[in-house]
Amino acid sequence: MNKDEKNAACAHGEKPMMLTPPMLVNQIARLFNARMRNYDLDGVMSQDSARQIMRTLSREDGCSQLDLVHKTHLKAPTVSVTLKRMEEEGLVRREQDRMDLRVIRVFLSEKGQEHNRTVQKRLNGLDCELMQGFTEEETEQLLHFLERMRDNILPEHHKNNT
């Protein structure tokens, strides 16, 4: 909004459009994802959904597809399509659960584990770049605020407050 638009908005009793914390978080996320796409990531790993799935599997290998939906906050079809592409590229393997044949478990392959280490190095470098100049206390406080924002928008939060 330019100066004339701000003045016109104020003259009509409207507040000028200001940058809100959620708008800034969204802007940072888009810039972060664009930077990650600029790395020489190929194929499916250029997608944020694949990186989220890989990050989750690196912490909890053998998750069910449904667990991945809940843990990544991605839609089930997105997880399914992304896993199919990751499987085609040899990054994951899917196995039927021996105790419950209805459940499909997802594991990082050796290639997926190696690829994850490369992606993690890049993510850690970008994290350090983003958090440059922040104290440990500021980082903890920011993390606390962002977790509250995330929790406020989670579907479970809305079900409990309606």
Domain range list for the chain: 20-33+42-155
Q: Which CATH number applies to 20-33+42-155?
A: 1.10.10.10
Residue 79's closest CA among 97, 95, 57, 101? 57
Does the global pTM surpass 0.75?
no
CB 54 within 8 A of CB 74: no
> Per-residue pLDDT tens for 18-65?
889 999 999 998 998 888 777 756 677 778 899 899 999 999 999 999
Statement: residue 127 has pLDDT above 70: yes
